[in-house]
Structures are given as structure tokens and as C-alpha cells.
Structure 1
Amino acid sequence: MGSDMPARNAGTVVRAGARGLVAAMAMTGVRTVTAAVGPHEETPPEAFVKEHLPFLRKLAPRNQDALTELFHWTYGAAGGVAYGLLPRRIRGNPLSGPLYGLAIWLGFEAGIAPMLGVRHVHEHGFQWRAAVALDHVLYGVVVGGRLAPEPAGSGGRVTRRRPPWPQPGRGPR
């Protein structure tokens, strides 16, 4: 099942972290579009920053937004690293990424948000929850690496290939 999935090593974990960062950025893009066509709903990162980092309110709204996104992207990168640390047999399952994305969301909604007292979680209807769930499925697809799989035969290692033309100082091939 997971024979094409590289073994867990520093390279696979770092790449998974980078995919987590990109996935969190993609979620921001999706949120920007959905906010433009529907009513503005406070996102989990916005609610967390608003309720737990009140010193940010002293900043200009533009700077508050930028820092909120940086927190979200950092959380996304950390989630990607955690995915990269999962065993190969789990990461090798094509559904592991999307299910992981949903697990991240449900973990926040059911565990982290209540523990931190983030009140927004139970104030939203089905449409908002469905959009956030789909947002996290997107995150999982990107983190799972199915859109940009590891190079075949690399075992998760990135190798530099010599170009077919002569290189200065290296002599003939």
C-alpha cells in the first residue's frame, strides 16, 4: 500500500512541514474568496488571537491581520511536521492527508478551543462548519503530498543531478 511513500527521515519531515505552510496559505486564499461571497465569519485563528492576544488590538488592523495569518501559517507548518512524523504505513494511505486535515479541525473544535475558552466554535451554523471542514480537507490533501509526490526511487531523499552540459572547473564528462 505505501511502498511509494518514502521512509520517515529529516527530508520527509521538513517537506511535510513546508507542505503544511503552503496548505495553511491555500486555506487563507480559500477563506478570502468565501468571505467575499458570503457573510464574514470569524475564523478560528481570528477568534484565538482576539481572545488570547489582546495586546495585538493596539496594532493597526492591517498588522493584526498579518500577525494572525503568520500564527495560522506557523500552526499549519507545525501540523505538517507532525504529519511527516507519522509512520510510513499511515502516510502511504491516500486518505491519510484529508483525514488528517479533518482531525486537525475536529481536534481544535472539540479539544483546543474549549480548553482555551475560544467561544466562537459553537456559534456557527452548518454552512460555516462545512466550509471550514472542506478547508481542512484541502489542507490535508496538500500536507499528504498527493499533489506533488516524492520523486520516484528517491526514498525521500532529494538528489542533485549533474546537468548534461559541461560545467566550468569540472573538466569533461
Structure 2
Amino acid sequence: MAEPKRTWSSISRAGARGLVAAMAMTGSRTVAAGIAPGERTPPEAIVEKQAPYLFSRLEKHQREAVTELLHWVYGAGGGLAFGLLPARIRRFPGTGVVYGLTFWLGFEMGIAPMLGIEQVKHRKVLWRVVIALDHVLYGVVVAGRLAPEPAIDGDRAEGEGEGDD
């Protein structure tokens, strides 16, 4: 069976799912804050470390809003990146989970050390489990596993016989 062609429509839908997934993570992080008070989320840690002067001028509620908006933009970008993966990879049932965990591990093992964010070295196991589950949620939503898209005749006809690699 021929791979469907990637279209701007399918890529933008993946970006929208990334945005919604990042928003869903906001809710799960509220729960995480209750489980492990005092821990900073990755977006908070990045903003505190990389832009303290810029954000110190803002009131606390404004800093929180800007931090969350940056997280949502990052999540939407991650969704767009997922949409660029070949269809044969995106179609695999476990891809979303692997993608979400890879995003988290990329931060923990790559971005955080590169930015000098030390807190990741001292996290409690429970916090790591909650954040890992948070990113599993992200991946499942980005992959469209919670609400799979029905085949759209226009997309199917447009992609017939064309590969996306």
C-alpha cells in the first residue's frame, strides 16, 4: 500500500494536537505540583535560568502566563515535527508514547545540561515518574491516539501512489 503524501493540512493538524497536548500537560502539572511541591517544571526552569532579568520585571501571574504560552508554542512545534515524520512511523501504535518520552529525555539529558539547569540532577523519583507520564500524555495526544482522524477522501486521493520519504 502506498504511503500517503504529507500535506500542510496533516502537518498543521499535528501541530494543533501538539498545542492541545501542551495545554493538557498544564492540567497534569497542576496535579504534579501537589505531589511534589517545590519542584519547577521544565518550562519554569528554562525561563528562570535563561531569562531572569526579562521576566523579573513581570508580576508573578504574568511570568506564569508567559511561561505557559512559551510551553504551548514549544508543544505546537513538537506537534509539527511529529507531523513531518514519515507516515509509516506515525502510524505505528506506540510512536506517540515513544515520541513523548523522547521529548522529555531530550530535555533531561540534552537541553537542561546544555542550559546549565542543575535541578534535573536532583529530582525525586516520584517527580520523574509524574513528568514521564505527562510526556506520555503529550505523545498520545500528538499522535492522535485519543481521537483518531477518520480517513479523509481528499487526503487519500491526493496521496495515492506517492511516498512521503
Structure 2 length normalisation: TM-score?
Answer: 0.87
Relative contact order, higher structure (CA 8 A, sep 6+)? 2
Deviation, 1:146, is 1.0
Matches within 5 A, 1:84-163: 84-154=83-153, 156=155
2:9 is the counterpart of 1:11 = yes
Q: Distance in 1 between matches of 2:63 and 2:132?
A: 25
Greater helix share, structure number: 2
> Take 2:153 and 2:108, find their aligned partners in 1: how far apart are those partners?
38
2:64 match: secondary structure: helix
Report how far residue 126 of structure 1 moved: 0.8
Separation in 2 of the partners of 1:154 and 1:78? 27
Q: Report the CA distance shift for 1:6/1:26 in structure 2 as closer, same or farther (over 3 A).
A: farther
> Percentage identity across aligned positions?
59
Provide the C-alpha distance between the structure 2 equivalents of 1:20 and 1:149, rounded to a whole number of angstroms: 14
**Which segments of 5 or more consecutive residues in structure 1 lack a partner in the other structure?**
158-173
Change in 2 beyond 3 A, CA 1:7/1:98: farther
The 8 Å contact of residues 150 and 156 in structure 1, kept in 2 or not, is answered as no
Query: CA separation in 2, counterparts of 1:155 and 1:103?
Result: 32
Provide the rounded CA distance (Å) in 2 between the counterparts of 1:130 and 1:52: 25
Q: What's the TM-score, normalizing by structure 1?
A: 0.84
Structure 2 CA distance for partners of 1:103 and 1:155, relative to 1, 3 Å: farther
Q: Map residues 36-115 of structure 1 onto 2, 5 A cutoff.
A: 36-54=34-52, 55-115=54-114
Moved over 3 A (4+): 153-157
Q: For the residues of structure 2 that align with 1:109 and 1:37, how far apart are their CA atoms?
A: 20
User: 2:15–2:79: 8 Å Cα contact kept in structure 1?
Assistant: yes
Q: CA RMSD in A?
A: 1.7
Larger CA Rg, structure 1 vs 2: 1
Partner of 2:159: none
CA distance in 2, matches of 1:108, 1:125: 16
Structure 2 counterpart of 1:23: 21
Aligned length: 154
Which range moved further: 92-101 or 28-37?
28-37
Per the alignment, do residues 108 and 38 of structure 1 end up closer, same or farther by CA in structure 2, a change over 3 Å counting?
A: closer
Deviation at 1:112, TM superposition (A): 1.0
Aligned CA distance change for structure 1 residues 11 and 88 (closer, same or farther; 3 Å):
same
Shift of 1:41: 1.2
